[in-house]
A and B are shown apart, each in its own frame.
Chain A
Amino acid sequence: MTLTTSGLIFMILSWAGIISLNVFCFYKIFHKK
């Protein structure tokens, strides 16, 4: 079995989603006015 394009898309989108959520949360915490 090889990694299909749709598999790669699911993986990249999942990674991007969770990294973005972490960046958003921790940016807000460390840049609190």
Chain B
Amino acid sequence: MNSSRENWGSKLGVILAVAGSAVGLGNFLRFPVQAATNGGGTFIIPYIIAFLVLGIPLSWVEWTFGRYAGILRHGTSPGAYDRIIGKPWGKYLGSLGLLPPLLIIFYYVFVESWILAFTWYSLTGKLSEVVQAGQITEFFGGFISLKEMAGPIPAAILFFVITFVCNMALISFGVRKGIERVNKISMPILFIMGIILVVRVLTLPGIGEGLAFMWNPDFSALAEPTVWLAAAGQVFFTMSLGMGIVFCYASYTRRNEDIVLSSLSAGAANGFAEIILGGTIVIPLAVIVIGANIEECAKLGTFGLAFQSMPLVFGQIPFGGIFMTLWFAMLFIAGLTSAISIIQPLISFCEDDLKFSRRKSVATIGTISFIGGIVAIAGLAAGAVDELDFWGGSFLLVLLGTIEAIIFSLILGRKKSETNPNESEAMALLNEGAIIKLPKIFRYIILYVCPAGLIALLVAWILHDGLDILLLRNIASDATVEFLGCTLSQKAFVIGFRLFLVACVGFVNLAIWYAWKSGRATGRLDKIKTVRIGRSEEDA
């Protein structure tokens, strides 16, 4: 039974781990398309404003919650909310912090495995042959629909199993020897690969034309509310906020160690990957090499751009095979570091609240995510991944982020600190051990502007994008899908799949009920309850 928690080995380790979690496909594929279709260079203005009033403040909120939870030897929101809210329903509200990692991991490992497969195919030259034969679209379609074989089994399944085992093996080493070590090695490699690709792109003839699509400003776009919504959404999703990841990672920081600068540094590293690497590679390359226009790029979406357009692009430049391998290897590192960060909150819940050993936690989460992964693969063509991405990767993030900002502002922000009577509990925890003190203006932004901004973002996002999906208005009434060899109405499939998601919500809440009922989470078993926020763990 665990009575002590791990800590990060170094400040750089936790910064790279948080940055590794944030840097993903969205930096390299979503950002450039969002920028190019929302005012070009002008997009950076609402992007920076959103970064300052939503991104960084919410990141500080999550780091503070993480520190609070870590002192109580929890790593996820049920434990923290139970104590902060002080009501029995607090822990069930905290279940919202476990749902995004659970739902995202069901499909993320599958997508990560596509990247590993395409890295392998690039390395062996197979992808170059496919591109030269003009069959990349068919090849990608065949791969994800399990028609491409590797011996007797579908290649997609083989790579899924390899990726799954790889993720679980790394996470089984723990926070310091697993997550921290992986990020310390792989993140510098990712940045070096990205810089090599940027240099290659910037030295291509006619690059000005490609950069024009990304950076020429259209000032009229600033009058469009959708541009501001897109910028706020991009900042929110790119920084891994509202997913319980930053919260969980921050819970492993030592008491009296800076979190203000660490959070800002992770955000800055993510911004580098997004603005400099993401803003330079994909769109300029697609425009100048294959003559794609922005509408085409946007229509292809994240996966189309990554797995169809980019191999085509690299197939047409000198030494394209090498750069294609670099591209997919860079994406795989981004995917791997993000995947282990998505798994860790679930492992933390098992270890800290259910008091499982790490091995038992990895086995439990491994089994659940493998079963969920198989469901996602089976339902890919029917829209299962779209549903998981909508609920786990979009809706719940904005909802949880908004709830976090409100709880921080209304409860933790009004509670007097036990260690510093002149400060609120929230600000005392945030500033404890800070290398740079939080500028005063950000206190107001965190406590008032950020929650108001997030409520506005949630409402605007539901009205603009979410409502049609929530009410199934985006599905034609006569649309049909194939699932497990049966043809059925798409609406029926989506309703059935949402019932499966409701069952997942029930399962998570049942686990929380058991953790508290049995006394495992509250410390009745090992006197964790004696730890107070005003005193260090060591004092207690």
Contacts and interface: CB of A to CB of B under 8 A. Distances in A.
A10 B215 contact: yes
Interface residues of A, number: 22
Contact of B268 (A3, A14, A22): A22
Interface residues of B, number: 30
A29 B279 contact: no
A4 B216 contact: yes
A25 to B, nearest CB: 4
Contacts of B48: 17
A3 B40 contact: no
B146 interface: no
Contacts of B15: 29
Nearest to B274: A18
Nearest to B273: A18
Given A2-B212, A3-B211, A18-B272, A11 B41 contact: yes
Contacts of A6: 41, 216-217
A3 B208 contact: yes
A4 B40 CA distance: 12
B265 interface: yes
A24 to B, nearest CB: 8
Interface in B198-235: 208-209, 211-217
Contacts of A8: 215
- Of the listed residues B41, B261, B276, the one surrounded by the most CB atoms of chain A closer than 10 A to its CB is B41
Interface in A1-33: 1-4, 6-8, 10-11, 14-15, 17-19, 21-22, 24-26, 28-29, 32
A11 B272 contact: no
B435 A28 contact: yes
The 9 A-B pairs at the shortest CB distance, nearest first, are namely A10-B41, A7-B216, A25-B265, A3-B208, A7-B215, A11-B215, A3-B212, A21-B268, A1-B212
Given A1-B209, A10-B42, A28-B261, 9 more contacts: A1-B212, A3-B208, A4-B216, A6-B41, A7-B41, A10-B40, A17-B48, A19-B272, A21-B264
